[in-house]
Structure 1
């Protein structure tokens, strides 16, 4: 019976959607399947806008996630989810998923036994209705049309056209099967992309306005991402590379890349008109942990020689923390660096001292040394590693168990192995090119000689 109720609601709200607001006392219920169905998604659209190309819609959703069912309130642009109440923390429920705008003006998601899993916290503020604006902003307003709550104040991984983000706010995205997450942050002197892993935080892209001007807020316009300073003065713009008007900015869940997107009617989908990072190996998650992105955009692995032999898992690294010169050593990976930049550990130090800083820190697994700036950075994870050409001026060192790197890390089985594997894909290409060139030269030489003999 509950499943039939669910199907009825989906039919009712997807075929009769024409309203853009609901009033206090409104309530809608979705039934949750009794048994778990992998890939299940059920949705009742309750509001929508009436626009020329793509409409915004608001839906109450039930989705299967990790052997459970989540209940969420979502905003869509076409079929793309651009905001969700469950972005940061999912509300799991059984039996029912309920959306209610209470008589006291609080918008709530509830599960079985009236358990509240999410709410706007707007009780006793005079809220009269929930309204969907043409900008995609979902708002609660009072009798005087004053906004008491709005979805734009709780950004997810997408920033819509016209939406404003002030300094110290950010977008976040969460890769599947990972405890790390990406963030796009607005700071006073720059906007930047970060990889966050526990308490660790590393940047991998940034944009600064010229002349050291400070940022007050940013806003997506039709022609690009606009940065504003004091007195609402535009101080910089990241331009779109297309004539079509932009619809949103998005931080990718799987890649961590930042993009500006427009809608292509010809292809019937959203396409990027700007990407912050255009090279695969410059993405922080291009390869798994302890992987190296080669010059051919192929992932190689750093493997450890342990007491039990070589660790063959690319993402495993080592299973235990180790530190101090008695238990560990640093091995420099020639021709390798990382796209991540963390806080400066120490300046005006030698490469040997930089390695020692990591050795003495049990939470450090790698370090990066700048031979030009004499600066040292330490890392709590090995990710975002890529192969570079010679003469970069950077030295990337990985901490390994004592004995894995040979004597003093100079005659390193690990180092030799990495050099061979990092170069194997590119080496095959070089061998192939040289082979073709050799064949061409020899074949042409023989042909010319044969032609000469025939002429004689």
Structure 2
């Protein structure tokens, strides 16, 4: 690994940085600088670092923030994938990841280089990730955790990780309507900003279908005002997530955290879109051993989009999951009711015969305000509207109001409600036919015809004492 640093910066960071790295190495969390070696605090053109294939530690740092609290390096993801990440060293939590479309292989070599821009390449030299459109002289990791590519003569960065979030926002990072969405680590959920609101979405078919399941509109924004600028969001050290108008910075709403009134300004805060689809805020105070939860957008488990999995039924206040077809019921953990769908019902299915149907009483949808609906419908009319539309996966009818809510994406968890007038109709995609199934079906039909004919012949023979040759 080639690494060059500014001696002035390195000397200021050495004491804190070495202690932090040494502590992490003792815990077996990172492969880092050995004791007495100055941690690298900037990368210059010509920098190259190689990932040690199959390294036992899950994180290999190559660049440190001056405070020693954050490092950029190779991160093991899951059982054996590789990504580039900025990690909060005291907790080993990645506050930023490159998240390329194709992750690297931890068991094989990979290379990180800087020559005007950062590039991560795999074992065969294939490009995994790069800082597009940026040409700089130096890479630094700020104490805020912001990874920056800049020119020596400019103060503004050519590229920065704060403008390319993964699943987490931190203090000092603005989240705007033009920012890439915040996407959960499992790639199933996303947070997006509209002109005057923030919303959580499920992601289907690689993001081609993204229905919302939670929405918060800025209290003092005026979306009907065409001249009013859009909002942006930012974490505040005082314990809230603020929504502001772009340009002037006027605050138009506040999402208060549990510690809002405690003046806990010295803590490091983050807001993360977790893998269950909930948006949560956490803080790490001096001497902390774990992240403390401070806020959650969705407070009830059954109001989450998938607490019981696809075609599951969540029973409020009981921590119980059932399957829509009544086949399974479990306490706590979600039963495996049906595999998650990855393809729609319309492709190659113009006759609408590629699905089975499940009907269930006492069901509702937690986020029905976000669904398309029709009014003044009977339960039979509601079902018919969905049955004749291949883009519809299900429909929920409320007998009390006559509302018909249409689910135009693969069915996830529904919510139990003790009201027989709330009924649901759901399509379950049939598994694809295996090679030879059509031939086997045709052969079976011929066999059945033959057996029927033989049976008729035997019956006739018993009555007449003979049987004509049929074949």
Alignment TM-score, normalising by the size of structure 2:
0.69
Cα 1:121–1:202 shift into 2, 3 Å: closer
1:240 — aligned with what? 257
Q: Secondary structure at the match of 1:353?
A: helix
How far the C-alpha of 1:202 sits from its partner, in A, is 2.4
Residues 111-160 of structure 1: per-residue CA shift (max 9 Å, x gap): 3354432221356x3x1100111211100010213311111111100001
Is 1:120 aligned with 2:135?
Answer: no
Q: Secondary structure at the match of 1:184?
A: strand
Correspondence for 1:129 among 128, 138, 163: 138
Cα 1:300–1:212 shift into 2, 3 Å: same
1:339 — aligned with what? 366
How many Å separate the matches in 1 of 2:255 and 2:131? 34
How many Å separate the matches in 2 of 1:302 and 1:110? 46
How far the C-alpha of 1:44 sits from its partner, in A, is 2.6
Is 1:219 aligned with 2:228?
Answer: no
Is 1:30 aligned with 2:58?
Answer: no
Alignment of 1:57-456 (within 5 A): 57-61=71-75, 63=76, 69-76=81-88, 78=90, 79-86=92-99, 88-92=101-105, 95-102=108-115, 105-112=116-123, 114-122=125-133, 125=135, 127-145=136-154, 146-169=156-179, 170-175=181-186, 181-198=188-205, 199-214=208-223, 215-222=230-237, 223-230=239-246, 231-242=248-259, 243=262, 244-245=264-265, 247-253=269-275, 255-265=276-286, 267-295=288-316, 296-303=318-325, 314-316=337-339, 332-341=359-368, 343-370=371-398, 371-372=400-401, 374-390=403-419, 395-399=423-427
How many Å separate the matches in 1 of 2:171 and 2:220? 27
Structure holding more strand per residue: 1
8 Å Cα contact 1:225-1:239 kept in structure 2: yes
Residues 287-328 of structure 1: per-residue CA shift (max 9 Å, x gap): 0211111131111112389xxxxxx96225999968989998
Cα 1:374–1:247 shift into 2, 3 Å: same
How many Å separate the matches in 2 of 1:64 and 1:210? 39
How many Å separate the matches in 1 of 2:137 and 2:397? 59
1:48 — aligned with what? 64
Residues 62-85 of structure 1: per-residue CA shift (max 9 Å, x gap): x3756x552534343531111111
1:448 — aligned with what? none
1:412 — aligned with what? none
How many Å separate the matches in 1 of 2:169 and 2:245? 19
How far the C-alpha of 1:276 sits from its partner, in A, is 1.0
Cα 1:314–1:122 shift into 2, 3 Å: closer
Please give the root-mean-square deviation of Cα atoms over the aligned residues, in Å.
3.6
How far the C-alpha of 1:29 sits from its partner, in A, is 1.6
8 Å Cα contact 1:94-1:112 kept in structure 2: no
Residues 395-431 of structure 1: per-residue CA shift (max 9 Å, x gap): 4333479xxxxxxxxxxxxxxxxxxxxxxxxxxxxxx
Q: Secondary structure at the match of 2:280?
A: strand
